Amino acid sequence: MTTLLTPTREGLYCPAGGFYIDPVRPVDRALITHGHSDHARAGHRAVLATRDTLAIMALRYGENFCESAQAVAYGESVNVNSVEATFHPAGHVLGSAQICVWDGKRRIVVSGDYKRAEDPTCAPFEPIRCDVFISEATFGLPVFRHPDARREVGKLLASLALFPERAHLVGAYSLGKAQRMIALIRQAGYDRPIWIHGALEKITEYYQQAGIELGDIRKVTAQDRPNLAGEIILCPPSSIQDVWSRKFPDPVAAFASGWMRVRARARQRGVELPLIVSDHADWDDLRATIRETQCEELWVTHGEADALAHWAATIGLKAMPLHLVGYGDEEEASEAAA
């Protein structure tokens, strides 16, 4: 096993570079893969991340979320002490990156969260050849095979046509999923205004400023709620069970998440219209990606690590589940796993 990176309580640590990647506690120097709150936490001294990730952290934690922030472009290499770190698109949310670390001998890619499915709101994932690939496994079970997101959006629009007198509330995490849903709905030719909960406003505006075309977006006010029959309203998933949802006309509770693949999960949440749209790689894409990296060793950070490691061993890889604590705690603690 290499000592270029090593799992610690704080997260993955690079002793030679003196930095952590996505640390879950405050540290001196952090490299951040993306802006979801379980990966990007406040309180580090120095932070290295993409410009979009830094901007998202500032939106969430305030401008002073760290002492010193340094922006890195995709493909750009930064030397941290004796180690070279390069950021590559991960296709997860706007600004999300895989971080490739190289000490001149070994190349390790930390994927962060990633997906391979098409997403009009962020740069597509780039497979990087490496010795060790450190993957997530949020949906690392063979039952998770996400359908084409366009089909799921079709379900939403069909329901809207059948129930024009009902408001359609779509639960979606505020960073990434909500904006991707809007973009997908637009791609399907829907051109009416799309309404959003106030909690989605800042990030959605940031996406628009970044040049992502989302059409006519309106924030829902208290007075609007009774009048939104037949409209699409995006909101944080927890808002659907919240007092907030009451004033809408006979709302249909939809939820856009990879977890909706398993019916019991959707039922537990009281979802009426499960939309299987995920910002994580599914089982087939996890396996294809691992193969493309041509890695010899696979480490799995979080999610269904045992199943993915079991599969990797069957194709002759050295595989190791890390069971890092603090990632993928869904929206209770954060909102990464969607």
Q: Which residues bind other proteins (CB under 8 A)?
A: 141-145, 147, 155, 159, 162-163, 240-246, 250-251, 253, 261-264, 266-268, 270-274, 304, 306-307, 310-311, 314
d(CA 289, CA 88): 14
Q: Is 140 helix (H, G, I), strand (E, B) or coil?
A: coil
- CA dihedral defined by 308, 312, 315, 317, rounded to 10 degrees? 180
Strands 77-80 and 318-321, sheet pairing: unpaired
- Judged by beta carbon, residue 72 or residue 307, the one nearer other proteins is 307
Q: 246 Cβ partners below 8 Å, 6+ apart? A: none
- Judged by beta carbon, residue 105 or residue 246, the one nearer other proteins is 246
Task: Provide, rounded to whole angstroms, the least separation between the CB of residue 255 and other proteins.
Answer: 10
Task: Provide, rounded to whole angstroms, the least separation between the CB of residue 103 and other proteins.
Answer: 35
Task: Provide, rounded to whole angstroms, the least separation between the CB of residue 270 and other proteins.
Answer: 5
Strand partners, 86: 77, 100
Q: 219 Cβ partners below 8 Å, 6+ apart? A: 195, 196, 197, 198, 201
Residue type, 17: G
- Judged by beta carbon, residue 223 or residue 314, the one nearer other proteins is 314
Task: Provide, rounded to whole angstroms, the least separation between the CB of residue 302 and other proteins.
Answer: 16
- Judged by beta carbon, residue 63 or residue 250, the one nearer other proteins is 250
- Judged by beta carbon, residue 128 or residue 271, the one nearer other proteins is 271
Task: Provide, rounded to whole angstroms, the least separation between the CB of residue 243 and other proteins.
Answer: 6
Task: Provide, rounded to whole angstroms, the least separation between the CB of residue 26 and other proteins.
Answer: 29
CA distances 167 to 33, 60, 65, 77, 155, Å, are 36, 29, 38, 48, 15
Neighbouring C-beta atoms of residue 91, cutoff 10 Å: 24
- Judged by beta carbon, residue 124 or residue 270, the one nearer other proteins is 270
